[in-house]
Structure 1
Amino acid sequence: MASDLDENPFLREPPTDFESVEELSATAAREQAEQLREAIRHHDRRYYVESDPVIADRTYDALLSRLEALEAAFDLDDEDSPTRRVGGEPVEEFDTVEHVAPMLSIDQSGDAEEVYEFDERVRGEVGPVEYVCEPKFDGVSIEVVYEDGRLIRAATRGDGQEGDDVTRNVRTIRSIPQVLSGDPPEFLAVRGEVFMPRDAFQAYNRERVERGEDPFANPRNATAGTIRQHDPAVVADRPLDCFFFEVLDSSDGWATRWEEDQALPEYGLKVNEHTERVDGIEDALAYREEMLERRDELNYEIDGIVIKVDDADKRERLGATARHYRWAFAYKFPARTEVTTVREIAVQVGRTGRLTPVALLDPVDVGGVTVSRASLHNPEEIADLGVDVGDKVRVERAGDVIPQVAEVVEDEVHGESHFEFPETCPVCSSPIERDGPMAYCTGGLACTAQLRESVVHYGGDDGLDIEGLGERTVRQFIDEGLLTDSVADLYEIDADELVALEGWGERSAENLLAELDATKEPPLADFLAALGIPHVGAATARELAREFGTLDAVIDADAEALEAVPDVGSVVAGQIRDFFDSAANRAVVADLRDHGVDPQDADVEGGDELAGLTVVFTGSLSEHTRSEAQALVEDHGGSATSSVSGNTDYLVAGENPGQSKRSDADDEGVPVIDEAEFEELLEERGIDIE
């Protein structure tokens, strides 16, 4: 039985010096737990719904921790407990559930003439009307169902008739009450919009950028990806919020939409403060212009307004088509294009350790693509542009691909940037070294921000070509704690750990482990390329392997010896020396060796059977990797290049060849041969390919 709020000791200036749990009786523990649940729900409402907290965050945390301790010690299980908001066990898949009432779409347009046509049709069918106007939120629509004031189900919109059951995830969103306040209807189904606040979205994107991950394009994508997570604990850790704006079904009734909007907050359901009731369509259009002006001030994304007939009887008479309500219309805003606001400046750490400042933006349309980040290249670029947080900037896509800040349009800090480039890596805290305008983290392969890209590169086409070890898999391994320190962690993963992961079975686990085992004796050139040494790609790695023969010889080579290698100048030699002079990098290489990775010595003698011959490869080969085939050509005096030119003698086309190289070969008159013909060529030149 719920206690009287006026007598609850945990509402105002609550005590946090609790007596020991062991000293409580079961009855006292149960009573205190119920008081704590009631008080925490009250504080959730004051904080998340009314934005008017009455206790400090640390006091709230103390109350929640006490409730968790009581529930654990006395087995006080309650599915409506606020402690359930921290998440629960992951689910394999979502069940599909039918909505209590159809969740239809709304006709929409950015053309005022279509809004007038909507108004004329409405008045022609039901006479004079008042409208309720509300922001059109750019989030994810959900249905939440309450019985006897308790949340029993939540579902995504789906196809409008049924959607995914996301109850466990929705319970973690603190602005959605698990138990309603006041005197709610016995049955209540409400429609809401889950969203990620803009400031939380930018902070979350900043964390992703600093970890070397791609940021979400916009808050809606971030919200949609979160609400469909199979692990509620992940949802609980992300900053979602919700506005409610429609009663789908109820055991009580309201005569108008406006009355619904006034009633929902009494039950603890959050509604938007900018919802207004207006007399006619002209006032609705004025409301739209007002919200368009306020758009950038709001802490949530809106892409228009929704105009709804207020009177419930007239709404029922207007009805709906199979797809949309006939009593509502969305008047869309024009898309933001090219000019937008810088909300954050984050520093991204790449695979080579290079630190790149990134402007995190209000999402903007640039050439038909939604852009939420843009490169600022380096600290000097920031200074030259004078860009800072809060500035309005014009964004363009360099080469129609990479977004970058072109200029400051509205300057909030009067021509200067107050952004301070960090002195240490924002992730691993290693010192930063400057090379002209560039900045680099000195943490090397041990830097966790570089870990994901390092592992992706290590297993990629330019590395050891490990099938099944793509970016998505590497990210999953890092998230699940299977990769924590360096690429050497790959060789500690076992089948049981893989099978326990979402999306993995015994066969896929066995296949990946077999692929990893096959990389334990890589050709030296492949291993050097896989390490991700700056400016050392496959061709340079082959030259190093041919010149020095062993890994230890490369590691110990001085700058002068390195500079003597073809394709290696003073700059690249310095990069190689810096890489292997790093204690962290040498530790990773040693760790790989300790895990059984033994790069095979290269043949430093070679031959000249293919001297003067230039070959380009495209597609995948069946008998050798492309890297092995290129090494074979170069070991015998030939040249293996990456692009076709007039100097190319042969284009070797394997399976799934690239069309651009085939076209270049046709244009230049270069013969195209298959893998069998390539092997015949080698045999003719006296080269044993076994």
Structure 2
Amino acid sequence: MSTPAEVDADDLRYADPDNPYLTEPDTDFAPVADLDAGDAAAEADLLRDAIREHDHRYYARNDPLIADRTYDALFARLEELEDAFDLEASDSPTRRVGGGTLEELGEVEHAAPMLSIDQSGEAEDVREFDERVRRELDDAEDVAYSCEPKFDGLSVEVVYENGRYVQAATRGDGRVGDDVTEQVRTIRSVPERLAGDPPETLAVRGEVFIPRDAFQAHNRERIERGKEPFANPRNAAAGTLRQLDLEAVAERPLDCFFYDVLGWDTGGSVDDDGRAASQPDTHIGELDGLGSFGLHVNDRAEGAEDIEAAIDYRDRLLDEREDLNYEIDGTVIKVNDRAKREELGTKARSVRWAFAYKFPARHEVTTVEDIVVQVGRTGRLTPVALLDPVDVGGVTVSRATLHNPDEIDSLGVNVGDEVRVKRAGDVIPQVAEVVESHSDRPYEFPSECPVCSSEIEREGPLAFCPNGLACPAQAERAVVHYASRGGLDIEGLGEESVEQLREAGLVETLPDLYRLSDRREDLADLEGWGETSADNLIREVEASTEPELADFLAALGIHEVGAATARNLARHFGTFEAVRTAGEAELAEVDDIGETVARTVRDFFETEQNARVIDDLLDYVDPQPDDTETGDALEGVTFVFTGSLSTARSVAQDLVEAHGANATGSVSGNTDYLVVGENPGTSKREDADANDVPELDEEEFAALLAEHGIGWPPGDEEE
């Protein structure tokens, strides 16, 4: 990155041209111990001015003066000085890094109503807007418009007093919004201090958004960590601004464009027309003024001499839409003259002087912005396409599965290609085909796990990370599953809390859960916890140290071993050690376990990393032997269940197995009965029909059990 040797003084907003930290700064700083308080304060002032200028040039003008690493060195030096000499400054750039947690969002009344605007995607509606404007104006001969992109983000009001940032609020109901002052303070394109000669009080309207490239990068990071990606940049921005954890807000790549003035108060000074002195007469003039104050103003705004020119602007912007690094869904056309705006006035919820000319929704065909490989709980690697958000059946889709490496090769897809997206079964988005390729070859699937760098293994079309519970991605998901209802049902250990514990270094693998009692103070000190929550979690974990064998096997998250298979394993082998040491042939003898599942179970226990974790876990957990006494009233009968019964399906499975029957998960020629509850699936019923398996509703199931002296629901056995 080239750095200019000097910069035009007229081009600066926050720093003097002779500021030593402006261009080619020397980052070989003197030791803090060699400075006195006066020298430190003077150096800190120069650093703050320079960093404000660098923020403005980088975020508002996309014209940086120095390299990123140099900026980081300046910022770190300022933090060092402020800490060492207690140099507090309310508008210091270092306040943007976030930290702390807000208890709740307060409410703020806006300086002026933040009203909506009428909108349409039809050119004739835009022309009708122009006709209404001309009808209602006394002087309609010379009506010019301003045109600008309609940003797809979250609208906010930001207030400055004497040039200093004091408050920010969401739009809310247009008159009162949520107080997001501290959240917006973390956005680097929002200056803490205005440049130039701003009015005494300035209230401006802006749009908070996430740039498209930053959105894709952030989603990539979330997917690699096993978290759900955001659906689109707008949802991500809106959700972030309402976060109470300021550090989480600061970590997300928010930006902001300013595009309207809500209040301009010069302290009583007015011009000949009674307006605040120095306030521009036109909207385009206002935007220029906001830019001169250092506010981030979009460079695509321009004037239009009439409505046809405004329509042409929208069409041009539609053609350029895909090249922009921010989401827009149309253009906003405004009467440019402020006096004419005041004459037109407002309606109850919208203004009469502006109109949004919307773009058509994107449908089905979109661009692959990135491909990221997600590591699942069982180690399976799934490629995911991150997409330019597109409308598919009324749902905004920003990612789609690519299934496996073979599917990528079959589609011939790579980053940058235009693809058609469909929703499989109206649920899971997937790439159906490449419409236009912009790459020479398909995406090259990685040879290493993207999380732990272990060399991946292939199993047919699938790819796996063999590192098991030692892989951080698998370990985190394993802890979530272990604590879930499908595992040991440890209350208070959901996905977010497990992530928080991992980030704090308290829980890396399953055995760490049982060491939390030794780190009670660290647990209690976490944001949102406290002593009561810490004690509750520790009690919940301690209550899981003697689980039923079937529950423990299900909690380990072995691929293909759900609750039913875990019960069969527990009843067949009786103890955990017997299950753990069983060979493939022994495992294959268990009901509902074939050769494939037997091999999966054997591989899980033989994986060295898993074995180490389990050995450690058994120091704290004692799975209880299965001593279920089974009768033989239903011996040799095989049941499959589908749909909802009056009692949990797992209870029905346990009951028939306790009396000698088999309860399997799929219908085959060996199935004797398919028990059908409410809202059943279709596949099992189709399989039952194909294999001539009789269906029983719950009443018929109860009658069958009664014939064998078994009551339904459990507890109704005959004497």
Normalising by structure 2, we get a TM-score of: 0.88
Of 573, 576, 579, 2:598 maps to 573
Q: How does 1:409-428 map to 2 (within 5 A)?
A: 409-414=435-440, 416-417=441-442, 419-428=443-452
Of 625, 641, 660, 1:637 maps to 660
Residue 271 of structure 2 is matched in structure 1 by none
Of 203, 224, 227, 1:189 maps to 203
Q: Distance in 1 between matches of 2:239 and 2:627?
A: 51
Residue 474 of structure 2 is matched in structure 1 by 450
Q: How does 1:236-247 map to 2 (within 5 A)?
A: 236-247=250-261
Of 589, 599, 605, 2:623 maps to 599
Give the partner amino acid of 1:288.
Answer: R
Give the partner amino acid of 1:150.
Answer: R
Of 392, 403, 416, 1:377 maps to 403
Asked if 2 retains the 8 angstrom alpha-carbon contact of 1:96 and 1:163, the reply is yes
Question: Any gaps of 5 or more consecutive residues in structure 1?
Answer: 652-656, 685-690
Of 430, 434, 456, 2:458 maps to 434
**CA pair 492-115 structure 1, distance change in 2 beyond 3 A:** farther
Q: Distance in 1 between matches of 2:717 and 2:464?
A: 44
Is residue 332 of structure 2 the alignment partner of residue 309 of structure 1? no
Residue 692 of structure 2 is matched in structure 1 by none
Residue 32 of structure 1 is matched in structure 2 by 43
Residue 564 of structure 1 is matched in structure 2 by 589
Please state how far the C-alpha of 1:668 moved relative to its aligned partner. Answer: 8.3
Of 56, 73, 94, 2:84 maps to 73
Please state how far the C-alpha of 1:476 moved relative to its aligned partner. Answer: 4.5
Asked if 2 retains the 8 angstrom alpha-carbon contact of 1:643 and 1:661, the reply is no
Please state how far the C-alpha of 1:510 moved relative to its aligned partner. Answer: 5.7
- Residue 16 of structure 1 aligns to a residue in which SS? coil
Of 520, 530, 546, 1:521 maps to 546
Is residue 287 of structure 2 the alignment partner of residue 261 of structure 1? yes
Is residue 254 of structure 2 the alignment partner of residue 228 of structure 1? no
Give the partner amino acid of 1:529.
Answer: A
Asked if 2 retains the 8 angstrom alpha-carbon contact of 1:134 and 1:276, the reply is yes
Please state how far the C-alpha of 1:530 moved relative to its aligned partner. Answer: 1.5
**What's the CA shift string for 1:502-528, capped at 9, x where partnerless?**
665777666554443332222212211
Q: Distance in 1 between matches of 2:598 and 2:655?
A: 24
Residue 399 of structure 1 is matched in structure 2 by 425
- Residue 130 of structure 2 aligns to a residue in which SS? helix
- Residue 288 of structure 2 aligns to a residue in which SS? helix
Residue 5 of structure 2 is matched in structure 1 by none
Asked if 2 retains the 8 angstrom alpha-carbon contact of 1:133 and 1:276, the reply is yes
**CA pair 3-289 structure 1, distance change in 2 beyond 3 A:** closer
- Residue 572 of structure 1 aligns to a residue in which SS? helix
Give the partner amino acid of 1:520.
Answer: T
**CA pair 676-247 structure 1, distance change in 2 beyond 3 A:** farther
Normalising by structure 1, we get a TM-score of: 0.91
Q: Distance in 1 between matches of 2:349 and 2:696?
A: 53
**CA pair 501-10 structure 1, distance change in 2 beyond 3 A:** closer
Of 99, 108, 115, 2:126 maps to 115
- Residue 113 of structure 2 aligns to a residue in which SS? coil
- Residue 451 of structure 1 aligns to a residue in which SS? helix
Is residue 709 of structure 2 the alignment partner of residue 679 of structure 1? no
Q: Distance in 2 between matches of 1:356 and 1:333?
A: 34
Q: How does 1:576-655 map to 2 (within 5 A)?
A: 576-594=601-619, 596-603=620-627, 606-612=630-636, 614=639, 616=641, 627=650, 630-641=653-664, 647-648=672-673
Please state how far the C-alpha of 1:350 moved relative to its aligned partner. Answer: 0.8
Asked if 2 retains the 8 angstrom alpha-carbon contact of 1:306 and 1:328, the reply is yes
Please state how far the C-alpha of 1:234 moved relative to its aligned partner. Answer: 1.5
**What's the CA shift string for 1:604-640, capped at 9, x where partnerless?**
8744233255485977999xx8657634532431233
Residue 66 of structure 2 is matched in structure 1 by 55
Q: Distance in 2 between matches of 1:621 and 1:589?
A: 37
Residue 515 of structure 2 is matched in structure 1 by 492
**CA pair 598-68 structure 1, distance change in 2 beyond 3 A:** same
Q: How does 1:81-160 map to 2 (within 5 A)?
A: 81-126=92-137, 127=140, 128-160=142-174
**CA pair 112-500 structure 1, distance change in 2 beyond 3 A:** farther
Is residue 346 of structure 2 the alignment partner of residue 323 of structure 1? no
Greater shift in the superposed pair: 277-286 or 10-19? 10-19
Q: Distance in 2 between matches of 1:395 and 1:617?
A: 31
Is residue 242 of structure 2 the alignment partner of residue 218 of structure 1? no
**CA pair 400-650 structure 1, distance change in 2 beyond 3 A:** closer
Q: Distance in 1 between matches of 2:576 and 2:420?
A: 49
**CA pair 446-374 structure 1, distance change in 2 beyond 3 A:** same
Q: Distance in 1 between matches of 2:343 and 2:14?
A: 45
Is residue 16 of structure 2 the alignment partner of residue 9 of structure 1? no
Give the partner amino acid of 1:218.
Answer: N
Greater shift in the superposed pair: 580-589 or 492-501? 492-501
Q: Distance in 2 between matches of 1:73 and 1:512?
A: 39
Greater shift in the superposed pair: 606-615 or 433-442? 606-615
Q: Distance in 2 between matches of 1:507 and 1:610?
A: 49
Residue 364 of structure 1 is matched in structure 2 by 390
Q: Distance in 2 between matches of 1:34 and 1:659?
A: 69
Asked if 1 retains the 8 angstrom alpha-carbon contact of 2:333 and 2:355, the reply is yes
Q: Distance in 1 between matches of 2:652 and 2:624?
A: 16
Asked if 2 retains the 8 angstrom alpha-carbon contact of 1:148 and 1:185, the reply is yes
Q: Distance in 1 between matches of 2:444 and 2:718?
A: 61
- Residue 670 of structure 1 aligns to a residue in which SS? helix
Greater shift in the superposed pair: 404-413 or 162-171? 162-171
Q: Distance in 2 between matches of 1:671 and 1:565?
A: 25
Greater shift in the superposed pair: 350-359 or 520-529? 520-529
Asked if 1 retains the 8 angstrom alpha-carbon contact of 2:207 and 2:257, the reply is yes
**CA pair 105-489 structure 1, distance change in 2 beyond 3 A:** farther
Q: Distance in 2 between matches of 1:649 and 1:608?
A: 20
Please state how far the C-alpha of 1:454 moved relative to its aligned partner. Answer: 2.0
**What's the CA shift string for 1:340-362, capped at 9, x where partnerless?**
00000000111111001111000
Please state how far the C-alpha of 1:12 moved relative to its aligned partner. Answer: 1.8
**What's the CA shift string for 1:634-689, capped at 9, x where partnerless?**
243123356899954877xxxxx9544899988686345999843345565xxxxx
Asked if 1 retains the 8 angstrom alpha-carbon contact of 2:591 and 2:662, the reply is no
Residue 297 of structure 1 is matched in structure 2 by 323
Give the partner amino acid of 1:229.
Answer: Q
Asked if 1 retains the 8 angstrom alpha-carbon contact of 2:14 and 2:52, the reply is no
- Residue 54 of structure 1 aligns to a residue in which SS? coil
- Residue 7 of structure 1 aligns to a residue in which SS? coil
**What's the CA shift string for 1:215-237, capped at 9, x where partnerless?**
10000111111112112222221
Give the partner amino acid of 1:435.
Answer: E
- Residue 327 of structure 1 aligns to a residue in which SS? strand
Is residue 34 of structure 2 the alignment partner of residue 23 of structure 1? yes
Asked if 1 retains the 8 angstrom alpha-carbon contact of 2:469 and 2:509, the reply is yes
Asked if 1 retains the 8 angstrom alpha-carbon contact of 2:592 and 2:664, the reply is no
Residue 543 of structure 1 is matched in structure 2 by 568
Residue 688 of structure 1 is matched in structure 2 by none
Asked if 2 retains the 8 angstrom alpha-carbon contact of 1:192 and 1:244, the reply is yes
- Residue 55 of structure 1 aligns to a residue in which SS? coil
Asked if 1 retains the 8 angstrom alpha-carbon contact of 2:389 and 2:397, the reply is yes
Of 485, 507, 519, 1:461 maps to 485
**CA pair 683-641 structure 1, distance change in 2 beyond 3 A:** farther
**CA pair 632-491 structure 1, distance change in 2 beyond 3 A:** farther
Please state how far the C-alpha of 1:582 moved relative to its aligned partner. Answer: 1.0
